[in-house]
């Protein structure tokens, strides 16, 4: 639900502006569709997806919740103590907040908040002043929980009502003297993209702050309304927002919902206490290999060897420690850091403030245009500026999406640079829910490139000859095509070749055409694409050697891994970039090599094979563009990649003597689906997870 909201607020809003905006050009999609044709196809597909979503809620999730004792009650079905409990909640918590708003010439229609939940009401009365029929609105308070617990007399049962149902039942109380003829819940989604023009302001921070204030006032792009809404009432709401309802041009921006609006409210069920047995079993991320027995500082370990991190299976704490240690180390002279999406209580941002206050040279590249994290980033930028951090915002027309941390340390005879590079954000919260990879290194060539990157970001410095890092928008697209072409030529020469890509999205048509040519030359190509994939695998004569799969499971697959070449000849890269035009040409991105053989071997032999073996959470894409959920064949061992990786890291920790004791280990996470690991067939980790350093 939240992803679909963002899709409308940004993607659909942009196409809509092209179709109906006064000054927008009529851009055509790569497949030749005009903007209005794209909108119609999006609407048709989305209407179908939303219907399937609510069918799933009604036919699958609802019965499963009921089987566990959850029951959604209607207000008018409440009796006795249940009704008293809910009425008391309404009087004490809701009524003081509610504001009934009549709409007439003296009371113009309110500007409905983006994604706010409202009740539209048609009122009637026969006596007194004013019109006999009146439209009115009540906003369902966002500051109150949507789900209200209701006492149950049956042990083990969790009853609840929806806040909007309670408010609707008390509408006569809110509009005294009127009869409620009809009412409906509705919700507006607005254009929330921030359009920034360089000539508008010489202060990007202030410009972003101004744009954020205007976000709630964007053009409406979608309305969700209850399917049972009275037609006359529905059209009062729809017409006020100037939305298309499909009656004239076949394009509808109205979504009639058969169920509760805004299903993100269901997260409140997850947060209810007493149902922890229904959650995924918790696990403690392991200390990354190479740091388990660290007795000294982290810089000593990085100087000795590169360190690979695989989150969330391995702890994100060392990344935080890297910056906090640098902030408190008197030998550290400078810290340079990119920040794209940070947590609300960011320990890395706080460490940068401490470092600046202690006199260190601290530079933070804060990306103010990280969509829907702008306000958080603006807040941190202001705090860091006040502490003396040199805060820069990169380029107005490019998002800085690369993940880099650089520490410069005085080690007596020389200055040494230490670098962390990552595929994901410097955010400890999302690091527990997203799969990402990171690399600590003191490699001189990488460190020199990292310094040049910060010079580019802070001073527009040009002309550096990149030695190890591949940077977008400079060279990443060209280098990606070169690496694919190298494998094509190997195959044409009769030599072994291979391409593997794990990414979030594959839509760049030039890269896709290059992959097709590689496939026609006979290159085996495996792609693990969590989201959009515009490539069609398995097409005879075009892409017969390409396999595409998507894995959706407990953790959001976010890491980008690119491999070119077979076995010992493989070049292994990690990256912040997907294979999309925006990553290649409209963002500052990095692709970086994994140079140490033991680390690249770990990726090639322990991580990639697990993703390619998943037969329980993986979906395989066919030549028609349809994903099919994989299931173990007869006699085949079930493999669930994310659980396998948890077990694998647990087994490694046990073998290294890092953990001790018996009991439930990470093998039981997420239901404990058993699977054997490549190279570790039949082993079962029995160690308890070791607590990571905080």
Residue 90 DSSP symbol: I
Contact in structure between 140 and 71 (CB atoms under 8 Å):
no
Give the Cα-Cα-Cα angle 34, 36, 40 (nearest 5 degrees): 115
Would you say the CATH fold of 472-631 matches that of 2-198+226-278? no
Ranges of each domain in the chain: 2-198+226-278, 316-468, 472-631
**Bridge partners, residue 440, by sequence:** 307, 420
Q: Taking the domain 316-468, which CATH number applies?
A: 3.30.870.10
Whole-angstrom distance, CA of residue 27 vs CA of residue 365: 33
Q: Is the pLDDT of residue 663 over 50?
A: no
pLDDT of 208-255, one tens digit each? 656 655 656 688 999 999 999 999 999 999 999 989 887 666 789 999
For residue 331, how many other CB atoms are within 10 A of its CB? 14
Q: Is the pLDDT of residue 387 over 80?
A: yes
Residue with tokens 């398995």: 538
Q: Which two tokens stand for residue 388?
A: 């003396």
Give the Cα-Cα-Cα angle 189, 192, 194 (nearest 5 degrees): 170
pLDDT of 168-203, one tens digit each? 999 999 998 899 999 999 999 998 776 655 545 556
Residue 691 DSSP symbol: P
Q: Which two tokens stand for residue 198?
A: 């360089």
Residue with tokens 């030998």: 331
Catalytic residue among 310, 311, 401, 558: 401
Under the banding of pLDDT at 50, 70 and 90, the label for residue 338 is: very high
Whole-angstrom distance, CA of residue 354 vs CA of residue 375: 22
Q: What is the largest CA-CA distance in the chain?
A: 93
Distances (CA, A) of 236 to 108, 221, 293, 477, 674: 13, 16, 68, 50, 56
pLDDT of 411-443, one tens digit each? 998 999 999 999 999 999 999 999 999 999 999
Q: Which has more pLDDT, 236 or 667?
A: 236
Whole-angstrom distance, CA of residue 26 vs CA of residue 16: 10
The pLDDT value given to residue 692 = 34
Q: Which residues contact 476 (CB under 8 A, 6 or more apart)?
A: 470, 577, 583, 584, 589, 591
Under the banding of pLDDT at 50, 70 and 90, the label for residue 291 is: confident
Q: Which residues contact 377 (CB under 8 A, 6 or more apart)?
A: 339, 341, 342, 366, 367, 368, 370
Q: Is the pLDDT of residue 458 over 50?
A: yes
| Phi–psi pair at 281, nearest 5 degrees | -65, 135
The pLDDT value given to residue 499 = 99
Homologous superfamily, domain 472-631? Endonuclease Chain A (3.30.870.10)
The pLDDT value given to residue 26 = 57
Q: Is 509 an active-site residue?
A: no
% of the chain surpassing 90 pLDDT: 67
The pLDDT value given to residue 641 = 98
Q: Which has more pLDDT, 563 or 27?
A: 563
Q: Which residues contact 395 (CB under 8 A, 6 or more apart)?
A: 457, 588
Q: Is the pLDDT of residue 344 over 60?
A: yes
Q: Which residues contact 638 (CB under 8 A, 6 or more apart)?
A: 615, 616, 632, 673, 674, 675
Q: Which residues contact 479 (CB under 8 A, 6 or more apart)?
A: 470, 591
Q: Which has more pLDDT, 290 or 648?
A: 648
Of the ranges 4-18, 51-65, 69-83, 175-189, which one carries the lowest mean pLDDT score? 4-18
Q: Is the pLDDT of residue 32 over 90?
A: no
Mean pLDDT for all residues in the chain: 87
Ranges of H-type helices in 551-640: 581-585, 597-602, 608-613
Of the ranges 19-33, 37-51, 386-400, 601-615, which one carries the lowest mean pLDDT score? 19-33
User: What is the value of pTM for the model shown?
Assistant: 0.86
Q: Which has more pLDDT, 412 or 130?
A: 412
Closest CA to 225 of 272, 193, 257, 182: 257
Stated as kind and residue range, the H or E segment containing 158 is strand 158-162
Stated as kind and residue range, the H or E segment containing 208 is helix 204-214
- Would you tell me which CATH number, out of the four given (3.40.50.11540, 3.40.1400.10, 3.40.50.1820, 3.30.1840.10), belongs to the domain 2-198+226-278? 3.30.1840.10
The pLDDT value given to residue 211 = 60
Under the banding of pLDDT at 50, 70 and 90, the label for residue 611 is: very high
Q: Convert 449-516 into a string of H (helix), E (strand) and C (coil).
A: HHHHHHHHHHHCCCCCCCCCCEEECCCHHHHHHHHHHHHHHHHHCCCCCCEEEEECCECCHHHHHHHH
Whole-angstrom distance, CA of residue 83 vs CA of residue 209: 45
Average pLDDT rounded to a whole number, residues 80-95: 96
């Amino acid at each position: 639900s939240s992803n679909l909201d963002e899709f409308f607020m940004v993607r659909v809003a942009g196409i809509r502006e092209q179709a109906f905006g006064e000054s927008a050009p009529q851009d055509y999609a790569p497949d030749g569709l005009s903007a209005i044709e794209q909108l119609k196809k999006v609407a048709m597909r989305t209407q179908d997806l939303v219907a399937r979503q609510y069918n799933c809620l009604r036919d699958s999730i609802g019965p499963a919740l009921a089987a566990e004792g959850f029951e959604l009650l209607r207000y008018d079905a409440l009796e006795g103590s249940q009704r008293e409990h809910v009425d008391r909640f309404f009087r004490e918590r809701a009524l003081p907040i509610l504001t009934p708003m009549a709409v007439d010439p003296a009371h113009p229609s309110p500007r409905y908040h983006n994604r706010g939940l409202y009740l539209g009401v048609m009122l009637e009365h026969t006596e007194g002043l004013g019109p006999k029929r009146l439209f009115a609105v009540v906003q369902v308070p966002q500051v109150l929980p949507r789900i209200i617990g209701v006492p149950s007399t049956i042990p083990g049962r969790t009853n609840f009502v929806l806040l909007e149902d309670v408010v609707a039942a008390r509408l006569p109380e809110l509009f005294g003297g009127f009869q409620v003829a009809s009412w409906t819940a509705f919700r507006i989604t607005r254009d929330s993209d921030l359009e920034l023009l360089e000539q508008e302001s010489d202060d990007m921070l202030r410009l972003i702050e101004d744009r954020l204030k205007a976000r709630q006032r964007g053009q409406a792009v979608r309305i969700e309304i209850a399917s049972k809404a009275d037609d006359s009432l529905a059209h009062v709401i729809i017409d006020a927002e100037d939305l298309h309802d499909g009656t004239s041009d076949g394009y509808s921006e109205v979504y009639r919902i058969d169920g509760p609006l805004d299903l993100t409210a269901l997260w409140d069920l997850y947060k209810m206490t007493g149902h922890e047995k229904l959650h995924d079993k918790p696990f403690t991320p392991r200390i990354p290999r190479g740091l388990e027995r660290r007795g000294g500082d982290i810089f000593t370990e990085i100087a000795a060897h590169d360190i690979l991190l695989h989150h969330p299976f391995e702890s994100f704490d060392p990344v935080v420690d890297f910056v906090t240690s640098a902030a408190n180390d008197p030998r550290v002279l400078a810290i340079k850091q990119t920040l794209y999406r940070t947590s609300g209580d960011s320990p890395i941002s706080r460490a940068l403030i401490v470092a600046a206050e202690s006199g260190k040279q601290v530079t933070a590249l804060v990306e103010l245009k990280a969509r829907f994290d702008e306000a958080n980033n603006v807040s941190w930028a202001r705090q860091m500026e006040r502490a003396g951090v040199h805060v820069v915002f990169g380029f107005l027309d490019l998002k800085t999406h690369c993940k880099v941390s650089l520490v410069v340390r005085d080690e007596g005879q020389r200055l040494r640079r230490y670098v962390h590079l990552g595929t994901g954000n410097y955010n400890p919260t999302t690091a527990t829910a997203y799969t990402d990879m990171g690399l600590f290194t003191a490699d001189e060539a990488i460190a020199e490139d990292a310094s040049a990157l910060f010079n580019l970001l802070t001073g527009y410095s040009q002309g550096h000859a990149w030695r190890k890092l591949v940077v977008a928008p400079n060279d990443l697209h060209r280098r990606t095509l070169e690496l694919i072409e190298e494998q094509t030529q190997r195959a044409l020469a009769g030599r072994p070749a291979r391409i593997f890509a794990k990414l979030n999205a594959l839509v760049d048509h030039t890269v896709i055409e290059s992959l097709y040519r590689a496939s026609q030359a006979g290159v085996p190509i495996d792609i693990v694409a969590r989201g959009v994939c515009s490539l069609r695998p398995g097409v005879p004569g075009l892409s017969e050697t390409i396999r595409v799969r998507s894995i959706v499971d407990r953790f959001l697959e976010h890491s980008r891994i690119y491999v070119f070449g077979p076995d010992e000849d493989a070049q292994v890269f990690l990256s912040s970039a997907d294979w999309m035009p925006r990553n290649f040409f409209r963002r500052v991105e990095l692709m970086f090599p994994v140079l140490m053989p033991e680390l690249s071997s770990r990726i090639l032999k322990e991580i990639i094979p697990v993703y390619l073996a998943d037969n329980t959470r993986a979906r395989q894409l066919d030549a028609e563009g349809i994903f099919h959920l994989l299931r173990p064949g007869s006699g085949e061992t079930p493999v669930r990649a994310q659980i396998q990786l948890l077990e694998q890291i647990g087994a490694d920790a046990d073998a290294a003597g890092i953990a001790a004791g018996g009991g439930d280990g990470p093998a039981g996470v997420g239901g404990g689906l058993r699977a054997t690991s490549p190279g570790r067939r039949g082993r079962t980790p029995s160690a308890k997870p070791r607590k990571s350093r905080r």
